[in-house]
Amino acid sequence: MTHRILILGGTTEARQLAERLAGRTGLAVTLSLAGRTVNPLAHPVPVRSGGFGGAEGLAGYLAAERVDLLVDATHPYAARISANAARAASDAGVAILALRRPSWQTVVGDRWTPVDDATHAVAALGAVPRRVFLALGRQEIGPFDTAPQHSYLVRSVDPVEPPLRVPDATYLLARGPFPEAEERALLEENGIDAIVAKNSGGMATYGKIAAARALGIEVLLFRRPPLPPVKTVETASEAVLAIDHWLAGANDRGV
Ligand code: NAP
C-alpha cells in the first residue's frame, strides 16, 4: 500500500525532509511551493507550484489527490498557509504534522528590539538617519518608503520590483546560507548600524545575528506570528521519526 504525503515547503527543512523520504518504497511524496521564487532550488521529489485557493482549496486538493499525511514545513512567518493547512487537514480528515525551526533566543551582547512588522520597524528606527540592512522578503519592504532619511542595504533572492522610493538604497541578490564571517564583513563594509529581520531560527541566516552581536549592532526582529496548535517537530530527522511512527499505524489520525 502506498501512503501519500504532501509537504508544504519553501524552506530548507522541507527540502531536507523530501531528501530523507525520496525513494522510500510505499511512499509517494509531493512537495508544494507557493511559486514566489523565480528559480527555486531543485527537489528530489515531484513538485507542484502555486496557491490552492485557501483552506477550502487545499482540503479539495487533499481529497482529490488522496493525501494521507500533510506536513506543514513552511516558514514560521508563513502564517496564512499554516492556518489553512490545519483547517484543511481537519476538514479533509487527513493527519497533519508541522515542521518548524525553533526561534533564536537572545544571548548576552545581543541588542534586539522586537517589532510586530515592517511598519513598526520604521517607527522604531526613528527620525535620525541610519544605515539599515533589510534582511526581509522583497514583498515586505514597502513600508520603508516612508523613511527616506535612512540608507538601505536590501538583500533578497529575487530582484525587488519596484525598488524603494528612497534616495539611498543598494540591492544585493543572494541566497543563503550566510556564514557569520561574511555577514560581519558585509555589515562593516556598509557601515550598517541597524538590521531588520525575522526570527527565522536555524543556522542558515543566524550569521547576521552573531555578527551584529560582535559589532554591537541593533537588530529589529519581527515577532513570530501565532501558528495553529498541531503536533510540531523541529528538525527533518524528528519529522522522519514522527512519520515512521505514523506509518507504523500507532495512531491512524494523529501523527
Ligand atoms: P503565507 O502568507 O502564509 O501564504 C500566502 C498564500 O500563499 C497562501 O494562502 C497560499 O495560497 C500560498 N502558499 C504559501 N505557501 C505555499 C506552499 N508551500 N504551497 C502552495 N501555496 C502556498 O506565505 P508567505 O509568507 O507568503 O510564504 C510563501 C512561501 O514562501 C511559503 O511556502 C514559505 O514556506 C516560503 N517562505 C516564506 C518566508 C517568510 O518569511 N514568510 C521565508 C522563507 C520562505 P492559497 O491560499 O491560494 O492556497
Which strand (E) or helix (H) includes residue 153? strand 151-156
Tell me the CA–centroid distance for residue 244 and ligand 1, in Å: 27
Q: What is the pTM of this model?
A: 0.93
* Sequence-separated (6 or more) residues with CB below 8 Å from residue 58: 52, 84, 85, 88
Cβ-contact 152, 167 below 8 angstroms: no
Q: Which of 16, 29, 30, 80 to mutate to test the pocket of ligand 1 (most atoms within 8 A of CB)?
A: 80
Separation of alpha carbons 16 and 203, rounded Å: 14
Separation of alpha carbons 164 and 154, rounded Å: 10
**CB of 140 sitting under 6 A from ligand 1:** no
What are the pLDDT digits (tens) for 103-158?
Answer: 999 999 999 999 999 999 999 999 999 999 999 988 899 999 999 999 999 999 99
Tell me the CA–centroid distance for residue 78 and ligand 1, in Å: 5
* Backbone dihedral region for residue 246 (phi beyond 0: left; psi -120 to 50: alpha; all else: beta): alpha
Task: Tell me if the bond preceding 177 is cis, omega within 30° of 0.
Answer: yes
Query: At CA 156, angle to CA 11 and CA 46, rounded to 5?
Result: 35
Nearest CA to ligand 1 atom 14: 34
Tell me the CA–centroid distance for residue 120 and ligand 1, in Å: 22
Separation of alpha carbons 236 and 202, rounded Å: 12
Q: What would the grid cell of residue 246 be?
A: 505514523
Query: At CA 62, angle to CA 59 and CA 64, rounded to 5?
Result: 105
pLDDT, position 111: 98
Q: Which of 81, 136, 158, 205 to mutate to test the pocket of ligand 1 (most atoms within 8 A of CB)?
A: 81
What are the pLDDT digits (tens) for 60-69?
Answer: 999 999 999 9
Separation of alpha carbons 12 and 76, rounded Å: 12
User: DSSP of 196-208, one letter per residue?
Assistant: EEE---SSTTTHH
Q: What would the grid cell of residue 87 be?
A: 483547517
Question: Could you say which residues of the chain have pLDDT below 50?
Answer: 251
pLDDT, position 255: 66
Q: What would the grid cell of residue 1 be?
A: 500500500
pLDDT, position 1: 85
